[in-house]
Amino acid sequence: MALLKKSKTALPAILAITLIALAIVGFSYAHWYENLWLTGEVKTGNLCARFWGIVTRTDTGKDWTCDEGFNNVRQINKDIGSSNAYFIDTNKDGCNDTLVVELNNVYPCYYEHMAFWIHNCGTIPWKIVRVNFTTPYETKSITKPSYLTLDLNGDKKADIELYWGNNFGQQVDPCGRVDISFDIHVLQPCPENTKLKFTATIIMVNWNE
Ligand SMILES: [Ca+2]
Ligand SMILES: [Ca+2]
């Protein structure tokens, strides 16, 4: 009887211990999950990139020209063409994401070089993976340093060639920034007396090493 009585009292005790144990496990699990969540937040962090400062241009007066393939870049004694470049916020998130380039009264062989900075304003490193070039008539993407041509007036003939170089795949840490530059060479089919325009959008991904 004593044994039976003991076992009868032991069962609820075991259940109670089990329940407490489960409660402790549940409690711990909840805490662990919360910690994981917090850790997860830190790890996913805030991916932020923004253009920094201004776009510098080589043509600030007398024009520059070059030959095919950006060879023989030289300044000439005339100021006919000009360029303009500025940043816009296409998705209205308060952060400029796209570069607009305008070419005014340019002509075949006109050369321009532009440079700007992109700043890591977030909490995690990123790298540039793609640049999309858009005209009203076509979009082209590059994922590595590349030459490309763009049709800016819709006649299916390329009006400019571009060379976009550095910084693909380079890790940029929070608060860091990268200097990006590209060349423009106006080609023979370029229309006369026209303002030509294209945009470049830069796409980053988070990059944790
Ligand atoms: Ca000029
Ligand atoms: Ca064209």
Residues 133 and 32 in one domain: no
Q: Which two tokens stand for residue 173?
A: 């840490």
Ligand lying closest to the C-alpha of residue 106: 1
Residues 24 and 66 in one domain: no
Residues 114 and 96 in one domain: yes
Residues 15 and 116 in one domain: no
Cα(66) to ligand 1 centroid in Å equals 14
Cα(77) to ligand 2 centroid in Å equals 27
User: Average of pLDDT values for 113-118?
Assistant: 94
Cα(194) to ligand 2 centroid in Å equals 11
Model confidence at 141: pLDDT above 90: yes
Residues 97 and 66 in one domain: yes
Neighbours of 64 (CB within 10 A): 16
Residues 135 and 151 in one domain: yes
CB within 5 A of ion ligand 2: which residues? Answer: 151, 153, 155, 157, 159
Q: How many domains does the chain have?
A: 2
Residues 86 and 31 in one domain: no
Residues 64 and 161 in one domain: yes
Neighbours of 206 (CB within 10 A): 15
Residues 94 and 125 in one domain: yes
Cα(162) to ligand 1 centroid in Å equals 18
How do residues 49-104 score in pLDDT, each as one tens digit?
Answer: 888 889 999 999 999 999 988 999 999 999 999 999 999 988 887 878 889 999 99
How do residues 4-52 score in pLDDT, each as one tens digit?
Answer: 334 444 545 554 554 454 444 444 444 444 334 433 344 457 888 888 8
Which domain does 31 fall in, by range? 1-44
> The dihedral of CA 48, 54, 58, 62: what is its sign?
positive
Cα(62) to ligand 1 centroid in Å equals 5
In angstroms, the Cα distances linking 36 to 30, 40, 208 are 10, 6, 18
Residues 36 and 89 in one domain: no
Residues 122 and 20 in one domain: no
Residues 99 and 168 in one domain: yes
